[in-house]
Chain A
Amino acid sequence: MEEIRISQVQLQTEPDSPDGRQPAEAGEVESSAIRTFLLSRGNSAIADRGFKWLMVLCALSIFGIVALIAVQLVKGSQLSWNKFGLGFFSWPAGFTFGSVFKAIMDSNLPQPNYWDPVNGQFSALPFVYGTLLTSVLALLMAVPLAIGVAIFLTEMCPGVLRGPLSFLTELLAAIPSVVYGLWAMFVLVPLMREHVNPWLVGLLGWTGLFSDDNPTGLGFFSAGVILAVMILPIISSLTREVMTAVPHSQREAVLALGATRWEMIRMGVLRNARIGIVGAIILGLGRALGETMAVTMVIGNSIEIHRSLLSNGNSMASVIANQFSEASDNLHLSALIEIGLALFIVTIVVNALAQLLVWAVTRGAPARVN
C-alpha cells in the first residue's frame, strides 16, 4: 500500500495557518478511515470493463430480437415462397385481373377461391385488401378528429381541463386490444347493425360502396371504426407533442403581425410542426396495420373481396390469429408465416419512417412509450 505524501517543504515555511495548527504535524498524511478504505480497494478497471460489456450485451439484444424475428419468419415461409413466389400477393392461378375485378364488382358472380388449404392453393390478396381498407378507413376517420383534439388541448383548452383530458388520452392508449374488441362486439356492432349501416346505405348507397346484403353489422367499416377509436389517442398525443415543441417565438411573431388565434395556429404552429404531424399519422397507420385482436372480433372473417365497405372480410393479422393454431398442413402454415413476414416488413418500414419524421421535429428527445 502506498501512501501519498504531500510535499512537506511548503507546509513548513507557511506563515500562521488560519486555524493555528502546528505545521510540524502536517508532514504526515491524514489517514482517515475513508481514505484507507478507498486506497485499499485497488484498481476497478476489470470490474468496470466487465460491467460495461454486460450492459452493451443487453443493449445489443434489441438487434438480436429483430434478427431473431426476421430469421424465423424467413425460414418458416420458405415453403410457400418457393411455391408461389410474388404471385402469393396477387390473384390465384387460373384467374385474370379482369375476372377478379368483375367478381368484386358484382356480388352475384362466384368468387375465386383465394385461400384453399385442401388443394394447396393460397393467395393473400383478400387479406392485403382487408388490411389496407380497414387502415385507410381508420385513418380517414381518426386523423381529422385527432388533430382537432390536439389543437384544442394545446392551444384552446383552459388549464384546468388539460391535465385530466391528457390523462384520459394516455389511459385510452393503454387499454388492451381484446377489451376494445369485446366492447366493439357487444356495443358497436349492434349499433352499426341497427342504426348506422341502414343510414349509410340510404345516404351513400348510390356510390356503390355501401350495399345492404350484410345484415350482421360486422365488416370492414365496423373494423375501421374500432381501429379509428384505437389509433386516435396515439395520433393525438404525438401531434400534441410536436405542437408543443414549436418554440413560442413563432406563435408570438405571428400574433404580433395581427393574426387571429386560428391564423396563429395555422401559420405559426401547424406549418412548423407539419412534418411531425405527418409522422404521427404514419405512426397511427403503423399501429392500425398491425392491430390484431379488435379487428379479428369485428371484421367478419370471410375470405372474399366485395365492393361494399359493409361486407365481411379478413385482414392479414386476423387470418393469422384465426387459422394459425389449426393449420395442420405444412404449406398452409408456411403461407400464414409468409403473411406474417409481409406484415413484419411493412410495419417496420412504416414505423421507421414515422420515427424519422417525428425525430426531425422533436430533435431526438426520448420518444414516448406507446
Chain B
Amino acid sequence: MFRELTDGVVTGLAMLATVVVVAPLVAIFVYLIYKGASSLSLSFFTRLPRPVGEAGGGMANAIVGSAILLGIASLIGVPVGIGGGIFLAEFGRGTKLADAIRFTADVLNGVPSIVMGIAIYALIVVPQNHFSAFSGGVALGIMMIPTVCRTTEEMLLMVPHAVREAALALGVPNWRSVLSITVKTASPGIITGCMLAFARVAGETAPLIFTALGNSFWSTSLNQPIAALPLQIWVYAQSPYEDWHRLAWAGALVLIILIVTAVSLVRYVTSRGVLKGAS
C-alpha cells in the first residue's frame, strides 16, 4: 500500500515537473511572438536605424549584414564540414582517427562561442588592425564545421550498404560513387543538417562582438565592421529607449521564425527517412 502511494506521488511529481517546465516555456514563446508581431512592420526590413526619438527606424542593415556574415560562414563551414562527415562515414569507419575526430567535434560543439571570437580576434583582427565582416564570417564558419560534420556523418550512415555495393559492382570509381551516389542519396538530410547549423549560427552574438563589431550604417564591404541581427538585438535591448526595445523584439521574432522553420524542416526530412527523401 505504501509502495502504491509512492508510485502515485512520483507520477504526480513527474507530471508537475512537466507542467512547471512546459508552461513557462510555452509562455516565453507566446510572449515573444506577441511582442515581436506588434513591432514588426515592413519598415523593419527596409529602413535603417533612425536616431533615438524618431519613429520608423528599422534593421535593414542588420538583416543584410547577417546575410553576408552567414554567407561567408557557409562558404567556410559547409564544404569543410561535409568533407569531414564524408571521411567519418566512408573512409574512416571504425578507425581510431575517426573516433578521435568525432569526440573532438562533439567537445568543440560545447566550447563557448566567445572563446572562438577571441581566437579569431587574435588571428585576423589584430594583424589587420581593424574589425571586419570577413573576420566575423570566419568566426561563425569555424563554429559551423563540427556541427555540419556530425550531422553529415549521421545522414551518410543511414544510406544502405546495398547502394554503395551496387555502384562498386558496376565499376564506378570510389570517389565518384561517394559523391554522386551516396552523398546524393543522403542529400536532403545533409542539406537540412546544414540548415540546422545555419540556424544555430545565425543566432550567435558573442563571437561577433569583437570581430564584426556592428555598424549603425549601411555597409556591405567585407573589410569594414558590419551590423548583424543578434548583435543589434543585444545593443538595443540594453539601451534605455522604448523605440529600440520594440525593434529588438521584432528582431527576436525574425530569429525565432528562422529557427522554428529550420528545426521543423529537419524533423520532417529525417522522419521521412533517407531513401524516400532522395530525388
Contact partner, A290, options B4, B99, B104, B112, Cβ 8 Å: B112
Please give the distance in Å from B149's CB to the nearest CB on chain A.
Answer: 7
Inter-chain contact B3/A260, CB cutoff 8 Å: yes
Distance, CA A177 to CA B256, complexed state (A) = 11
Tell whether A232 is near chain B: CB-to-CB under 8 Å.
Answer: yes
Taken residue by residue from 160 to 204, chain B's Cβ proximity to chain A (1 for < 8 Å, 0 otherwise) reads as: 000000000011011110110000000000000100110110111
Inter-chain contact B150/A177, CB cutoff 8 Å: no
Tell whether A300 is near chain B: CB-to-CB under 8 Å.
Answer: no
**Beta-carbon contacts under 8 Å, B140-155 to A:** 142, 145-147, 149-151, 153-154
Inter-chain contact A148/B14, CB cutoff 8 Å: yes
Please give the distance in Å from B180's CB to the nearest CB on chain A.
Answer: 12
Inter-chain contact A370/B110, CB cutoff 8 Å: yes
Main secondary structure of the interface of A (DSSP, over half): helix
Distance, CA A149 to CA B25, complexed state (A) = 13
Inter-chain contact A177/B14, CB cutoff 8 Å: no
**Beta-carbon contacts under 8 Å, B220-279 to A:** 230, 233-234, 237-238, 245, 248-249, 252, 255-256, 259-260, 262-264, 267
Asked if A366 meets B154 with Cβ closer than 8 Å, knowing A68-B119, A183-B31, A321-B209, the reply is yes
Tell whether B129 is near chain A: CB-to-CB under 8 Å.
Answer: no
Inter-chain contact B7/A182, CB cutoff 8 Å: no
Tell whether A25 is near chain B: CB-to-CB under 8 Å.
Answer: no
Contact partner, B114, options A156, A236, A340, Cβ 8 Å: A340
Inter-chain contact A355/B15, CB cutoff 8 Å: no
Inter-chain contact A58/B79, CB cutoff 8 Å: yes
Please give the distance in Å from B257's CB to the nearest CB on chain A.
Answer: 11
Inter-chain contact B83/A62, CB cutoff 8 Å: no
* Contacting residues, chain B, for A6 (C-beta < 8 A): none
Tell whether A244 is near chain B: CB-to-CB under 8 Å.
Answer: no
Tell whether A140 is near chain B: CB-to-CB under 8 Å.
Answer: no
* Contacting residues, chain B, for A245 (C-beta < 8 A): none
Inter-chain contact A186/B245, CB cutoff 8 Å: yes
Interface residues on A, range: 35 or more
Contact partner, B32, options A69, A179, A348, A369, Cβ 8 Å: A179
Distance, CA A260 to CA B3, complexed state (A) = 7
**Number of B positions contacting A (CB below 8 A):** 105
Tell whether A181 is near chain B: CB-to-CB under 8 Å.
Answer: yes
Distance, CA A38 to CA B109, complexed state (A) = 43
Please give the distance in Å from B260's CB to the nearest CB on chain A.
Answer: 6
Inter-chain contact A369/B150, CB cutoff 8 Å: yes
Among the stretches B42-50, B54-62, B67-75, B84-92, the one at the interface with A is B84-92
Please give the distance in Å from B115's CB to the nearest CB on chain A.
Answer: 5
* Contacting residues, chain A, for B103 (C-beta < 8 A): 352, 355
Contact partner, B174, options A38, A44, A144, A364, Cβ 8 Å: A44
Among the stretches A11-19, A72-80, A82-90, the one at the interface with B is A72-80
9 A-B pairs with least C-beta separation: A176-B203, A58-B83, A148-B17, A290-B112, A44-B173, A51-B175, A351-B110, A55-B87, A59-B87
Q: Can you list 22 residue pairs at the A/B interface with Cβ under 8 Å?
A: A52-B174, A56-B87, A59-B149, A72-B119, A144-B17, A146-B21, A148-B21, A152-B17, A152-B18, A172-B25, A174-B199, A174-B262, A175-B256, A176-B230, A177-B203, A178-B230, A179-B32, A182-B249, A297-B237, A324-B209, A350-B110, A355-B107
- B residues contacting A by CB (< 8 A) are 3-4, 6-7, 10-11, 13-18, 20-22, 24-26, 28, 31-32, 79-84, 86-88, 90-92, 97-99, 101-116, 118-119, 121-123, 142, 145-147, 149-151, 153-154, 157, 170-171, 173-176, 178-179, 193, 196-197, 199-200, 202-206, 209-210, 213, 230, 233-234, 237-238, 245, 248-249, 252, 255-256, 259-260, 262-264, 267
With A148-B21, A149-B17 known, 9 other A-B pairs at CB within 8 A are: A54-B83, A69-B119, A144-B17, A176-B204, A179-B256, A262-B10, A293-B205, A297-B237, A347-B111
